[in-house]
Amino acid sequence: MSAAETTTAKVPPPRHSSPPPPRRGIPRRPRGGGRLVRWAAPWLLLAPCLLVLGLVLGYPLVRLATLSFQDYKKPQLWGFKPATWVGFDNYRAILSDGEFWHVVVRTVVFAGVAVLVTMVAGMLVALLLQRVSPWVKALINIALVASWAMPVVVAVTVFKWMFDTDYGVVNWVLSRLPGVDYDGHNWFASGPEGLTVIMLLVVWGAIPFVAVTLGAGLTQVPKELEEAARLDGAGALGVFRYVTFPIIKPLVVMMTTLSVIWDMGVFPQVWLMRGGHPEPGFQLLTTYSYDKAFGVNDYATGSAIALITVVLLMGVVAVYMRQMLKIGEVE
C-alpha cells in the first residue's frame, strides 16, 4: 500500500450534518386594523364611565356656563319671557361688586386654614398610629371611621349643642379655666367666631380620611432607611424631614389638593349651622352663589359665581398636576 493510499484510508468519511431546524418567524405587528383596535380598546372600556360623567357633570356644567351669559330670572324660568343673551354683563357686575371680593377672600382664608389644620392633625394622627399597640390602633381606627361616616346633619347637631349659648359644653369647660368667663357666650354673634366653629366641624369630618390615607402611606416607608438615619444621628424631626416625608410627598400633595377642593366647596355645614339663612359674615362662595340664584331668583348671577368658583378650583387642579409632574421628573 502506498503512502497516498494510507493517507487516504485514514481520512474519515465526511459526515452528513442534519439540516438546521427551521427558524420560527418573529411575529409581526399587525397593521392597519390591529393598530386601530389597540388604540380604540381603552376608549371602549372607558366609554361607560365617560358617558356617565358627561351626563352627570358635563351637561350641568354646560348649562351653568350658558345661564351665566344670559338674563335669566323668575320670568324666564316660568316661560313668561325668553332668555336674552347679555354677554359678559353678569361677570362685570360680579367682579365690580365689593361684597363678592369679601366673599372670595373669606372663602380662601377659610379653606386655607382648614386645609392646614386638617393636614397637620391628620399627619400627627397617622404618625401616632405607627407607634401604638395593635389594640389601641384598632380602637383609634374605629373611632376615625365612625366619625368620618357620621352624616353631616348629625355632626352639625352635635356641634350646635357643644357650642350652644346656654347649654354648650364648650362654654362650660372654658368657664372652668382660671380668669375665663364664657357663660352665655354666643359663638355665632360674629362671622369670624362662627366660621371658626364651622371650620372645626369641617376639620373634624376630614381628619379621619386624611389620617387613614397617610397612615397607609407611612407603612410603605422602608424601616431600614429610618433606622439608618437614626444611626447617623438624626432625630425624630430629621428622620421625618429627610426620609419619611420625601417618600410620602406625592400622597401629601394629593391629599392637600383634594382637601382644598373639598373645603372651598363647603356648603351643607354652613347652610345647616345657620338654619338655611347664612348671614353676610358667614357667606362663602358656595352659599353666596346659592343665595343669589335661589334667594333673590337671579339664576344668571348665581351661575356666573358658581362658574368662577369652578375656574378657581381648576387652578388648584392645575397646580396639583404640575407638582405631580415635577415629582415624576425627580423620581
Which pLDDT tens digit goes with each residue over 8-39? 445 555 555 555 555 555 555 555 556 777 88
pLDDT at 328 over 80: no
Fold assignment, 72-330 = MetI-like fold (1.10.3720)
pLDDT for the residue 33: 57
Domain ranges of the chain: 72-330
Q: Determine if residue 233 is left, alpha or beta; phi over 0 gives left, psi from -120 to 50 gives alpha, anything else beta.
A: left
The pLDDT of residue 155: 92
Enumerate the β-bridge partners of residue 70: 85
171 touches 184 (CB < 8 A):
yes
Does residue 47 carry a pLDDT above 80? Answer: yes
**H-helix segments, 96-241:** 98-129, 134-149, 152-162, 169-175, 191-218, 223-231, 236-239
Q: Which of 308, 263, 292 is nearest to 73 (CA)?
A: 292
Tens-digit pLDDT profile for residues 240-288: 888 888 889 888 988 998 899 899 989 999 999 998 888 889 999 999 9
pLDDT category of residue 229 using cuts at 50, 70 and 90: confident
pLDDT at residue 2 greater than cutoff 60: no
pLDDT the model gives residue 131: 87
List the one residue out of 154, 153, 158, 159 whose CA is nearest residue 187. 159
Average pLDDT over every residue of 94-105: 93
Where is 80: in which H helix or E strand? none
Minimum mean pLDDT among 62-71, 138-147, 231-240: which range? 231-240
Residue 328: CB atoms within 10 A of its CB come to 9
**pLDDT tens digit string along 148-160?**
888 999 999 999 9
pTM of the model: 0.80
Which pLDDT belongs to residue 289? 93
What is the pLDDT, as a whole number, of residue 321? Answer: 79
**pLDDT-based confidence at residue 316 (cuts at 50, 70, 90):** confident
Quick one: average pLDDT of 63-89?
Answer: 86
Q: Is the pLDDT of residue 117 over 60?
A: yes
Sign of CA dihedral 163, 168, 170, 172: positive
Cα angle: 206, vertex 210, 213; to 5 degrees: 145
